[in-house]
Amino acid sequence: MSATAKKTAPLPADILARKGGTPLVCLTAYTTPVARLTDPHCDIVLVGDSLGMVLHGMESTLGVTMEMMILHGAAVKRGLSRAMMVVDMPFGSYEESPSQALRNAARILRETGAAAVKLEGGVEMEETIRFLTRRSIPVMAHIGLTPQAINTLGGYKVQGRGEDRARVLDDARAVARAGAFSVVLEKVPATLADEITAELPIPTIGIGASAGCDGQILVVDDMLGLFTAFKPKFAKRYAELGETADAAIAAYAAEVRARSFPAPEHVFGEEAQGAKP
């Protein structure tokens, strides 16, 4: 292969083959410009239903719709050429039955160009994941803290401590058994995440889990400091773009009020510059 050959986006089988290798780099994206920024650096870009909170000001992910996921998924796809795109299935789009999940997952893949879907749940979703994967729908699973279930989990609490450890371990085994090509582990103790990673034949992707996972994911607005409503413990801030943006907007507002913007170089004269008389 030529050294200058264009790198193509990985497929779920390629991600599966990365088990135990160089950690997978994953971030969320919801718009074309951000997708273009993440594309050169990430293996997987997730169009997460976190967009409901990050972009739309919702209190949770429960109000996110299929139409929202498809709209943002299509936008992100236009900004990607190297990273694999996965799209979240929103609350209420897959829980009713495997057939419902198939209809909606197929629609997401068809209308966004995603390579796979992600859905939340473990043992209770085993049948659905198996149904989808046997019908050519690649599935990334998501266990531990599952935000769509906050009303039954009692909030955004760490999962898998004490007697709850067995439940999360059972969930991990169930999604791998069902054919998921990877699994997100959210807010579980590091020792449990390491145990799951060692046992499962599929890559684990941590968020508030362990550095020993096969990959890591963060919400891009968290790690860039753009989402400031709250800061999860696991979200390291690699920049403070929210503060930078606030300062820039304040400077703009001050210049407008002082009539120092627009300056002469920002407005147009009667004749185009360099025009012949």
User: What residues have CB less than 8 Å from 62, skipping those under 6 apart?
Assistant: 52, 91, 148, 150, 151
Assign 45 to helix, strand or coil: strand
Q: Scanning the structure block, which residue is given the tokens 């718009």?
A: 31
With residues binned 3-state (H G I as helix, E B as strand, rest as coil), the percentages for the chain, rounded to 5, are 40, 15, 45
Spot the catalytic one: 186, 243, 255, 271. 186
Q: Which amino acid is at 199?
A: E
186 is catalytic: yes
Work out the angle at residue 204's Cα, subtended by the Cα atoms of residues 107 and 58, and round it to the nearest 5 degrees: 55
How far, in Å, CA of 205 to CA of 46, rounded? 12
How far, in Å, CA of 203 to CA of 213, rounded? 8
How far, in Å, CA of 215 to CA of 200, rounded? 14
Sign of the C-alpha dihedral, residues 223, 248, 29, 230? positive
Catalytic residues: 186
